[in-house]
Chain A
Amino acid sequence: MKKIIALFLALVLVIPLGYAQTKAANEQVKEFWIYKDKGARENHYAPSGWMGDYGDIKINDQSTDNPYSGTTCIQFVYTAKKSQQQGWAGVYWQNPPNNWGSKKGGFDLTGMTKLTFWARGAKGGEILQKVVVGGIGTKMAYPDSTVVEVGPIELTDTWKQYTVNLAGKDLSYISGGFSWVATADQNPNGATFYLDDIKFEADPTIKPEGKRQESMPFYVYADSGSIKNHFVPSGWMGDYGDIKYDGACKEDPYLGDTCIKIIYTGKVSNGARWAGIFWQHPANNWGTIDKGYDLSKAQKLTFWARGAKGGERIEEFKVGGIMGEYSDSDSASIGPVILTKEWKQYTIDLKGKDMSYIIGGFCWATNVDVNPDGATFYLDEIKFE
């Protein structure tokens, strides 16, 4: 009998704790902290999921360098040295630590409507490509029930609060509480930044975010590392071995400090006899990720281009046209285009096109048959207007 009572007591003691793991938020809970202060009892999740160039990241989770509140904040130093040759790095706060979806441990955050955090850069101008809530283990045994991304965010040298709207999202199982991602492209000299007071909040005044129509102009490429850049030149096609891409070329940019330089050698490295690059959102999205921008306000896409010698022939410049589970809503193109040695602006007319969902922001393609000796050309100021 004593044993039974002892077991009963044990259960009574344990169950609420277990429940807290799975049902963290309820009607009474207004806040759910990720980081309050070093060692705070309210803290949840661990910053254990280091991604990309993890060798470029240093963390100090008890920095006393001007915390926003309390006694500590978190300092991150991202060196952008590309230690793992990825060009980007990030950290996930996970529960349990190092869980990428193979273990059970997500919190039920139903009732929370936003995540807020405070951030500042050491110098100001540091760019977080995005911050993410959820999204762990999409194809694993225990996937998060949602993923919400916000970004890019350009930090200032003073503390500023940022909010991720979670209203209307399914937060019933979140093992990846928070994450940030930075890229070497956007932070060529690295970035030191601070985070503080990261928490979920139940704010009844927050309304679900509708599909936002992006305002114009909306850049594909403005300058190297610019926060304005919205698409990534990740979709290398055809003879990708024939392409050299420099997104920070300083050879006579049309505007700003840099332009894009592309060398197409025409060596048919992969046997296709043609090559091209798609600027995608997010990187490498061939229609598998539901992340299209609503560019319905766009009437045209304009860009500047020039050839190294003049006479380079680009068969097609294109917007949209990626087909997959989440396809571009439309496509439009111009071509063939014979480039001149001087910068010249080109326009892809988007009037009458359905630009409500675009993952492929821009694309060029050419081939060895019209460029037997290859082609070197430059692009700049690619934007929707």
Chain B
Amino acid sequence: MLDSFLTEGILKKRFFSFIFPQIFLVSSFCFLRLNSFAQSDDMPSSGELINKAWLLHGQRKVEETFAVTQQIIELYKDQADKQQASLSALPKGKEEIEKVQILNDVATAYFIQAESYMRQGKIEEAKNIFKLIIERYPCAQAWDPRGWYWVIAEAAAKSIKKLESGSIEIEKPKKKVSQKPTKIVLYDPGKEDIVNYSKYGEFVNVGTDQYRYIIKDQEGLSIAVGEGIYPNTSSVRWDPAFKTALKQKRLEGDLWDFVHSEDLEAAFFKWATSSEPQGVKLFYTALILEKAGLIKHAIKCYYAIIVHFPGAYGWTYFKTPWYIGQAAIAKIHYLLRKNPQLGLKLVDAQIKIINGFDNNVANDIVITNPGRFVKVNPLLEKFKPKPSKELLSIKKRSGKGRVYVQQYETGDWQLIVDEKPFVLKGITYAPTKVGQSPDEGTMTNWMYDDFNNNGKIDGPFDSFVDKNKNNRQDQDEPAIGDFELMRQMGVNAIRIYHHPRVPSKELLRRLYQEYGIMTIMGDFLGKYALGSGAPWNPGTDYNNPQHKENMMNSVLSMVKEYKDEPFILFWLLGNENVYGYACNADKEPDAFFAFANEVARRIKEIDPNHPVAICSGDVLYLDKFGKHCPDIDIFGANSYRGNYGFGMLWYQVKEIADKPAIITEYGCSAYYEGKSLEEAEEYQADYHKGCWEDIRLNMAFQDGAGNALGGIVFEWLDEWWKGYEPAIHDTKGTWIGPFPDGTMHEEWLGICGQGDGNMSPFLRQLRKAYTVYKQEWKN
């Protein structure tokens, strides 16, 4: 089960890799689909044909593209028309969308034809087909492996506009609710900052699944907690500002549009009086209070979730649960960490969700201990003695060579390199030149790129820092290279995959020898059908002996090839395979993890000198990992939970698997709708700081779980192709999540920007997050 984030009453979770699309997408709109439909004995499925059509289109085989797309249209048009006629609205969610897959495939076939015409310069023909799609198939959608569905008719309309005006529409979402910047002045802040809950009720069965807080004095508790916090639902309605906001019609609009409104007062009132489930309502009320700087009230509000609704949950867009009580605990820890002047600490608070690692909440058992707040002196805390590893005995060691992980008698874990603790300060490095896109087959290999033909590889050695951000290389801005910049930042590892492109050993050797940066080498282990030999549709099957043999060979060839290289830090298996997508790990998690463990065991037979890590998707099926993977040394997860870090993840890994853990991807965009780029950078830096602090506090001998080995930032440089137009630095939000403005702006994730793009791939504008890491990682 995932601790993830909300969107529009439902939640959406990051479920795809940022890395993979670079690898094999070849067509302009290479939106492959996953399932096979409408297949009879004597005719191919629409899914099979559509995949074939995309492939041919990508290979610029015009005649064959038309032959295949026409075949789809002729075979399935009638069914598609019927499916369209059966719809009154756009299907929502994967399940509904896939119910009309024939419609989706037929519309896609037309779309590919139009794209092909466009590519050939046959403008009128292209426009005619785009128009046909708009008129006939308004409800058709197609899957983008980046992680979402797109409406084919909308894409067709954009293409027509592009053909007619020559301009590319940049999406500027309209703000639908009040954005008048306001502050919150509480009418009733409550009588107690830290509420003495025992005074107003009774905690029963603490630490069990029968936990309850029984309110004995609702009035008294309402007075204590104050406005907007359960059970006080009255004060907010008596707040004169509430009545004013109502009168001014500032509360009109969709509740979810208020989450990131600048009208904090209206957002607070809207949420505090909403009809959302109590847990969700309190979380977002608290979030708005937090944004308004009312930290004490926000903490009180988060804590009310733990006391009253510990098992509350929300849902991601893809129907994965989000446990609000656990997130509330993490938020409180984060806020108290960030506000040491409050002199408080939350101790013993814990919410365990038994059966919480699957997508089913009906089987959840919630074990709650609300914990308590204790006063602390920040100064004394600082000088509190920490256990010294020299005095501790080693409980467990995994690995025999220069890199291994070891566990101390305290249960804490460390990664050891050359007999010294190694804190993983990693980054994803993929310096894509502006204008290149895997969608258009124009992506080159950064490991060899030398666009100015000066004998230096561009990104690694020839980039420069545009200090004054004038988008030019001034005299005092010499080439320095990303490798050096990363070294100065404190990076000590990058994460790459050995396939399908072969990495440059020479470059990685230099990276290590000259800059001290090691490499985490990965194999996709069948994700996106890579390494398994499976077709994209239906993808890798972890029960298929042939697929397994192919994947095993892929991994072992990697290990044999690189195991003696000094730059190797450890091996990484997979990339969020548990979310599925051209593999069935989401449906067959037991088979997947059992196979991953088998792979790890074989790796160790030929290379006992490096640990093996898995790259999972947050904590989905963590229980399966714990059950099947004794030979995998490190649990790694891509996780995007918010600026507070990763919540219970560390403890869960410790409890379920007793393994060390790393975050294999985390990050935040440097774009914030409605704010300046400078402000947006601050928010990005704050997000990274919060995440890194959480990682650090959970490292060995700190206050947390003691099993964090470090993390891998996503990513070094903005990539402009992710919003489809590779020459434009697109600001559109691609998915909603726990980011500063509530949206993921895919093309702005870099710790460095590429300025106006004209001097790509050389120009670097270092963002504030760079400085944050420089301070955090170098000290």
Contacts and interface: CB of A to CB of B under 8 A. Distances in A.
Contacts of B273: 321, 323, 327, 331
A352 B237 contact: no
Given A351-B219, A370-B361, A316 B278 contact: yes
Nearest to B219: A352
B222 A352 contact: yes
A251 interface: no
A327 B215 CA distance: 26
B357 to A, nearest CB: 16
B218 A330 contact: no
B218 A351 contact: yes
A330 B362 contact: no
Nearest to B92: A271
A371 interface: yes
A332 interface: yes
B492 to A, nearest CB: 43
Interface in B195-243: 215, 218-219, 222-223, 231, 233-234, 237-238
A318 B277 CA distance: 11
B105 to A, nearest CB: 22
A329 B237 contact: yes
A323 B275 CA distance: 9
B362 A353 contact: no
A332 B237 CA distance: 13
Interface string B301-314: 00000000001010
B313 to A, nearest CB: 8
B96 interface: yes
B237 A330 contact: yes
Interface string A17-28: 000000000000
A22 B353 CA distance: 71
A314 to B, nearest CB: 12
Given A323-B273, A369-B361, A369-B362, A330 B233 contact: yes
A271 B10 CA distance: 12
B93 interface: yes
B328 to A, nearest CB: 17
A256 B392 CA distance: 72
Interface residues of B, number: 26
A316 B233 CA distance: 15
B233 A332 contact: yes
Contacts, number: 59
A369 B315 contact: yes
B277 A353 contact: no
A354 B218 contact: no
Given A349-B218, A351-B218, A331 B93 contact: no
B233 A349 contact: no
A354 B215 contact: no
B231 A332 contact: yes
Given A332-B231, A371-B362, A271 B218 contact: no
A321 B218 contact: no
B93 A353 contact: no
B443 to A, nearest CB: 38
A353 B233 CA distance: 7
A351 B311 CA distance: 25
Contacts of B231: 332, 349, 352
Contacts of B315: 273, 369
Contacts of A185: none
Contacts of A332: 231, 233
A322 B234 CA distance: 13
Contacts of A61: none
A271 B361 contact: no
Nearest to B311: A336
A330 B234 contact: yes
Interface in B256-281: 273-275, 277-278
Contacts of A352: 218-219, 222-223, 231, 234
Contacts of A335: 278
Interface in B301-351: 311, 313, 315, 321
Contact of B215 (A318, A349, A371): A349
A332 B231 CA distance: 8
A333 interface: yes
28 contacts: A271-B92, A271-B93, A271-B96, A273-B315, A315-B277, A316-B277, A316-B278, A320-B233, A321-B275, A323-B251, A323-B274, A329-B237, A330-B237, A331-B273, A333-B278, A349-B215, A349-B218, A349-B231, A352-B218, A352-B219, A353-B218, A353-B233, A354-B237, A369-B321, A369-B361, A370-B361, A370-B362, A371-B362
Q: Which 5 A-B pairs have the closest CB atoms?
A: A352-B219, A354-B234, A369-B361, A349-B218, A331-B233
Given A323-B251, A330-B237, A353-B218, 6 more contacts: A316-B278, A331-B273, A333-B278, A354-B238, A369-B361, A372-B360
